[in-house]
Structure 1
Amino acid sequence: MAERHLEVEQKYDAAAEFVLPELDGLPGVVSAAAPEVHELHAGYFDTADLRLAAHGITLRRRRGGVDAGWHLKMPAGPDSKQELRAPLGRPLIVPARLSGLVAAYTRGEELRPVATLATRRTVVRLLGADGTTLVEIADDLVTGQVGTRTEQWREIEVELGSGPPELLKAVGKRLRKGGARRAASSSKLGRLLGQAVVPSPAVAARAAARARIAAATSNGKGPVVTTGEVVLAYLAAQVEAVFEFDPKARLGEDDAVHRMRVAVRRLRSALRSYRSVLDAERTVPLGPELRWLAAVLGEVRDREVLRMRFAEAPAFVLEDLQRQERSAYRRMNASLKEPRYFALLDELDRLILDPPVTRTGERKARKELPGLVTRAWTRMAKDYARIQTSDDPDLARHDTRKAAKRARYAAELAVPVLGVEAKRLVKDAKRIQEVLGGYQDGVIAMEHLAAAGRRTRIPAEAFTLGVLYGREECEAEAARDLLPTTWSQTLGPSF
């Protein structure tokens, strides 16, 4: 398991004659530790076309200092990066755990050395009353090399420790008064590589799609947007979420698999509900691939849900679920390294970069969206009506739940344009979805408990399983019986 660390820091460029200013009197700072000098040597790894650098990601193997080893840094917000570390290992072999976390970006391309940095670092730690490090200031003399080109510069890094964010700003203010200036690049590697790093066109396209809708809807006076633009902005947001939660899901972070799966489902649902907006020749093949990815993630998520529901179950049930969950995670991580997954990501990027907008998509969103949202809601209503007449009511309930998700996501996509009315539909469809989800979860839990009951020969365990089964049955029946009341409280579209 890679060690994780959230790094919050600001970087400043400084001239060779720059003198570190006095740092006394800063909020909460009681003293400064004696300066420490380290000699650091780092080799940076990336693909031949610098895909990691294009996404603001750095991967290095560093010797020297107090944290020698492999370091992977991924953006985590303004002035923040999630840093994951691994032992030094072999010089040219990237640890599999770290290379896997960036697989969505490298997509099978080899990670190889692209640059080296030698840094003479002088560290000053500002301490609080209890002796903890509030902030660490690193004065770096850097020599970077790419191929035969060598560059030297001086840089000041201010990294937040246990101090408040205000302290980071206060130190920065002192440095700027002393002649330093905020660095143009967020990383040493970025500065060294310069224009060799080409910003990702896919990232730029996703940002542009979302910015267009934000500008058009911020005050009601923006440009008129087309249906295709609204759909693309929604799709762009979901693709962004897939990339955001991909490494978190691989690490097993809380709720990451669930949120990545939801983004995949939203993509698939939007492509179905708004199939008239984008050319089917491009979008229809994405359906089975998105369904496959949702199933891969769903195997893990289903085990997570059962484990959380069965907190009071006998130990053998929990242990079995934990084994299943670990196995599901291994299969998920293997699937997320497959060419099939990389090909899907390529197509999602292409969808936003080169959107196949139809004539319907070129029409004004405010005129087209009401009909498209209504169509999704009508489909849900038809499935709901089948519950009373179907030979298999549970199957009809399952179909209604899926239709409720599609209606919810269809209305969610339209919220920036249709406003309050679309928000109400989102809320109503979500209530239907959650009631049916409660019933479905109860049925699945009952099936699992029944199977566990057949495996045990210990009366006390069988009794506990029976109690849990009875509770799940009651909750499932309560959710089922609540459905008509919940449905009667929905008004449907009134565009």
Structure 2
Amino acid sequence: MAETKRETERKYEATPETDVPDLTGVPGVATVVDDGVTELDAVYHDTPDLRLAADSITLRRRTGGADEGWHLKFPVAAGVRDEIRAPLSPTGTDTLPPDLAVLLRSRVRRGEVVPVVRLRSARDVRRLLDADGAPLAELSVDTVHAERLPDGPRTSWTEIEVEAAEGADPRVLDAVGKRLGKAGIRPARHPSKLARALAETAPEDRGGHGGHGGHPAPGTAGAAVLAYVREQAGAIVALDPAVRRDLPDAVHRFRVACRRLRGALKTYRSVLDRKATDPLGDELKWLAGELGAARDQEVLTERLRALLADVPRPLRRGPVKARLRVWAAARADDARRRAVTALDSDRYLALLDALDALLTDPPLRRAASRDAAGVLARAVRKDHDRLAARVDRALSLAPGRERDLALHEARKAAKRARYAADAARPTLGKPAKKFSGRVKAVQSLLGEHQDSVVARKALLEIAAQAHAAGETAFTWGLLHGREEAAAGATERDLPRVRSRATVPRSLRH
């Protein structure tokens, strides 16, 4: 079973002659305990083309020390990583544990990880304790011998590593760093031992690597659109492990990346050939839908709980909280399984491969070679016009199911227009940012309306379940009425908000 630990550390340059200053008296540090030297042997694994290292991810199998085993580290912020650990196989085999392998699937895909570097370290450890004897941090002087595998160059160095103890205030690292700096000890040039080993044992670059002839020149529409596509495709790959780990907001961010990418492929069809991008758009829609079930259920449950909490106690008839809890739990489990099943599918891997192929050999159209500003502004205006037309059509319909469906389509158009503006921001600057903000207001209002539509459907379902169980459905009917009134209010407010979502003058021509 894998376990996760948040690792906050700093690294410093050193030599075998470096003297570590006395750290007793550093703010908070009362005692420094010398734990002696530990021998560590770690083999780092990666794909043959070093995809993990490219994303600052490390995977190692380490023996020696108190935490020997498999360690998978994901970057969180500068100097902060999540370390996921799994024990060594009791049979002594070198097989990557399944709990870690699945977190690498979006990057490794159908390939495999192989040993790329071996690091043997002599670690001289000092524990920094507060006045009560509680650990604050651990400082180690590491003498490292690195070998590129299978039979590559070797290198060695000495470094100092300071890691905050679990639960300790990470600001102790600042205080220790200040003391080390006064002693002439400087921060390390490389963020990790693996990064340094790879840099110092890299094979010589013999040149001869020509550029990709099919890629557009800087400043063109093709360059701008491909940069945005690359960013969103990268976000999907990067967020995959977070979704599997069920981290907060991971599903939402993953889904947004899918939608942004799909929107860009639609909006910028004058730049990228739709014969190649439309199938990708269909697959992105499928993927967002599969993962969206979990997010939608979470949002819906939160909304219903808030609605219920707002009902005066005398009007809460029957076991309403228990009824909502049972209803939500069953759907949450199903939604989570649906999301993970999608990420485990061959269809998902095929989509990731297709996105890579698109970026490697983009299907550029004639507009891709034109100046980015004009092409992108024209696409933004077109998406604005689509939004305006859909809002006008929806408001022309009588209240009811047809209007609800039309407003939902208008919401989709609002998202597409907003994402188009966001994609154009590096090129068009403040006007695109301003337009995105205006459209976001429309999107939010339409989103509130759609949430009400979904909530009313759920309330009818819960009411039917309550009635079948012999419970009164009074409270659920009350909430349905409130949601209906709320939806009516958003519809009345829509013309005002929509009128403000105009295209800035600088983008109109």
Aligned equivalent of 1:468: 479
C-alpha deviation, 1:156, in angstroms? 2.0
1:135 paired with 2:137, answer yes
Distance 1:388 1:151 in 2: 70
Specify every segment of 5 or more residues in structure 1 that has no aligned partner in the other structure, as ranges: 200-204, 213-223
User: Aligned in 2, Cα 1:394/1:166: closer, same or farther, shift over 3 Å?
Assistant: closer
Contact 2:291 2:338 in 1 (8 A): no
C-alpha deviation, 1:264, in angstroms? 1.0
Distance 1:108 1:491 in 2: 47
Pick the aligned partner of 1:285 from 279, 289, 301. Answer: 279
User: Aligned in 2, Cα 1:423/1:5: closer, same or farther, shift over 3 Å?
Assistant: same
Distance 1:48 1:140 in 2: 27
Aligned equivalent of 1:439: 449
Aligned equivalent of 1:96: 98
Aligned equivalent of 2:381: 374
- Counterpart residue type for residue 487 of structure 1: R
Partner secondary structure for residue 490 of structure 2: helix
1:70 paired with 2:75, answer no
Aligned equivalent of 2:317: none
C-alpha deviation, 1:461, in angstroms? 6.0
Aligned equivalent of 1:24: 24
1:107 paired with 2:106, answer no
Aligned equivalent of 2:161: 157
Contact 1:14 1:179 in 2 (8 A): no
Distance 1:198 1:173 in 2: 37
Deviations 1:12-67 (Å, cap 9, x if unpaired)?
34333433332234233222123344343434333344332332211123344333
Partner secondary structure for residue 28 of structure 2: coil
Contact 1:273 1:410 in 2 (8 A): yes
Distance 1:32 1:471 in 2: 63
- Counterpart residue type for residue 55 of structure 1: D
Aligned equivalent of 1:215: none
Pick the aligned partner of 2:173 from 155, 168, 176. Answer: 168
C-alpha deviation, 1:377, in angstroms? 0.7
**Where does 1:263-278 land on structure 2 (aligned, <5 Å)?**
263-278=257-272
- Counterpart residue type for residue 16 of structure 1: P
Pick the aligned partner of 1:187 from 188, 192, 195. Answer: 192
Deviations 1:432-464 (Å, cap 9, x if unpaired)?
111111111111111112112222245556333
**Where does 1:32-431 land on structure 2 (aligned, <5 Å)?**
32-90=32-90, 91-145=93-147, 146-147=149-150, 152-161=156-165, 167-172=172-177, 174-175=179-180, 182-194=187-199, 195-196=201-202, 225-311=219-305, 312=308, 314-390=321-397, 392-431=402-441
**Percent identity of the aligned residues?**
44
Contact 1:190 1:197 in 2 (8 A): no
Deviations 1:459-493 (Å, cap 9, x if unpaired)?
55633333333333332232233223322343345
Distance 1:320 1:96 in 2: 33
Deviations 1:370-426 (Å, cap 9, x if unpaired)?
322111111111112212445822221111111111111112222333334323321
Partner secondary structure for residue 10 of structure 1: strand
C-alpha deviation, 1:190, in angstroms? 3.5
- Counterpart residue type for residue 335 of structure 1: A
- Counterpart residue type for residue 29 of structure 1: V
Contact 2:404 2:453 in 1 (8 A): no
- Which region of structure 1 is more displaced relative to structure 2, 426-435 or 252-261? 426-435
Contact 1:50 1:197 in 2 (8 A): no
C-alpha deviation, 1:265, in angstroms? 0.4
- Counterpart residue type for residue 99 of structure 2: R
RMSD: 3.1
Q: How many residues align?
A: 474
Partner secondary structure for residue 123 of structure 2: strand
User: Aligned in 2, Cα 1:466/1:458: closer, same or farther, shift over 3 Å?
Assistant: farther
Contact 2:26 2:179 in 1 (8 A): no
1:479 paired with 2:490, answer yes
Deviations 1:193-222 (Å, cap 9, x if unpaired)?
4455999xxxxx9xxx9xx9xxxxxxxxxx
Deviations 1:134-188 (Å, cap 9, x if unpaired)?
3311122334453356655433211134666664355345546657554444333
- Counterpart residue type for residue 173 of structure 2: L
- Counterpart residue type for residue 294 of structure 1: A
C-alpha deviation, 1:83, in angstroms? 1.2
Partner secondary structure for residue 102 of structure 1: helix
- Which region of structure 1 is more displaced relative to structure 2, 458-467 or 122-131? 458-467
Distance 1:415 1:50 in 2: 32
Partner secondary structure for residue 35 of structure 1: strand
- Counterpart residue type for residue 72 of structure 1: L
Contact 2:376 2:424 in 1 (8 A): yes
Specify every segment of 5 or more residues in structure 2 that has no aligned partner in the other structure, as ranges: 206-210, 309-319
- Counterpart residue type for residue 402 of structure 1: K
- Please report the TM-score for the alignment, with normalisation by the length of structure 1: 0.85
Deviations 1:288-322 (Å, cap 9, x if unpaired)?
11111111221111111122123245324323323
Partner secondary structure for residue 473 of structure 2: helix
Aligned equivalent of 2:6: 6
User: Aligned in 2, Cα 1:326/1:36: closer, same or farther, shift over 3 Å?
Assistant: farther
